[in-house]
Structure 1
């Protein structure tokens, strides 16, 4: 695959964001198709192959990881970038193992995504210390991981986290899940 624009599939449940991203890539010469989840993606993969894919990690109440696996299985040369507002080491590792070329936190723009398509090797010069993760961020990631594991059941999530349901509800009101 060359660095020229090609066929791109965007798997994103936020239709406004998907539409904006699609327009931006179309202006750059990509032929873009969108899917809001695994079912629509399966239909698209049955019809055509893609050079590139952008997959949201959280598709409603479902994980985008099966979509990554399906795209990689359909064509292992597809350059897949996973976008997420719920970045964690565990999901990053799984996404890469399943065939993603890169994993970007939201918000990411078209330039970031296109640059990630072009990255084929790791960067050994990336500093190990990086940016320290705040306790608030770690708590938020744990809440989101548990929400996903419980199918977004607030009571069960609160039980697993050892907090009162109302406390969890207040935390979610301050920073809604997207």
Structure 2
């Protein structure tokens, strides 16, 4: 291990960004019991501000926040501290957003509900072990939804441009994006 990695292992500061107050408070208490020093933020703006003031060694960021995308917080964290180990946590899992999160610097992407043990393992793992393959393949509806999400991310989350590229009406696309992913 390099000196930077050893320093990161000793530094257990953790930023939790989620707009679900009861969840983020429970997670903060659970992560504190696991040796982390958590701070919480309830919005993109608050998360970015805390990342600017004191960039943490670890972060758990919800993808969808009330005032925007958690990916903006991931980007801010990565700019301020390159060695920050970030896990994106979401109830709206999609391949496109997972890829976008990893490209921005997240080390893992977990779907809610994830417990504190899973989150701690993801934060501390070095990624040597691949997860097992899925039990069930994706449905055709899910594949379509994933494709739409991928194009949406490639268009920098611009609905009009995504609709143009997919050759669909913008309002139809907005309705699809507002729904949860099919199973």
TM bucket by the smaller chain?
0.7 to 0.9
CA 141–149 in structure 1, closer or farther in 2 if over 3 Å, else same: farther
Query: What is the distance in 2 between the residues matched to 1:16 and 1:35?
Result: 12
CA distances 1:89-143 after superposition (whole Å, capped 9, x unpaired): 111111001000110111101100111012223545743x653124565677789
Shift of 1:44: 1.2
1:99 aligned to which of 82, 105, 110: 105
Query: TM-score scaled to structure 2, two decimals?
Result: 0.72
CA 28–125 in structure 1, closer or farther in 2 if over 3 Å, else same: closer
2:12 aligned to which of 1, 6, 9: 6
Query: What is the distance in 1 between the residues matched to 2:11 and 2:140?
Result: 41
CA 141–65 in structure 1, closer or farther in 2 if over 3 Å, else same: same
- The number of residue pairs the alignment matches comes to 161
CA 124–20 in structure 1, closer or farther in 2 if over 3 Å, else same: closer
CA distances 1:30-80 after superposition (whole Å, capped 9, x unpaired): 111111122112221232121100000111252111111111111010110
Query: What is the distance in 1 between the residues matched to 2:12 and 2:111?
Result: 23
Alignment of 1:81-92 (within 5 A): 81-92=87-98
Q: Structure 2 regions of 5+ residues with no counterpart? A: 160-168
Alignment of 1:27-106 (within 5 A): 27-60=33-66, 62-106=68-112
Q: Structure 1 regions of 5+ residues with no counterpart? A: 151-155
Matched, 1:109 2:115: yes
CA 122–134 in structure 1, closer or farther in 2 if over 3 Å, else same: farther
Task: Show the counterpart of 1:160.
Answer: 173
CA 62–55 in structure 1, closer or farther in 2 if over 3 Å, else same: same
Task: Show the counterpart of 2:137.
Answer: 132
1:86/1:144 contact within 8 Å kept: no
Query: What is the distance in 1 between the residues matched to 2:11 and 2:113?
Result: 22
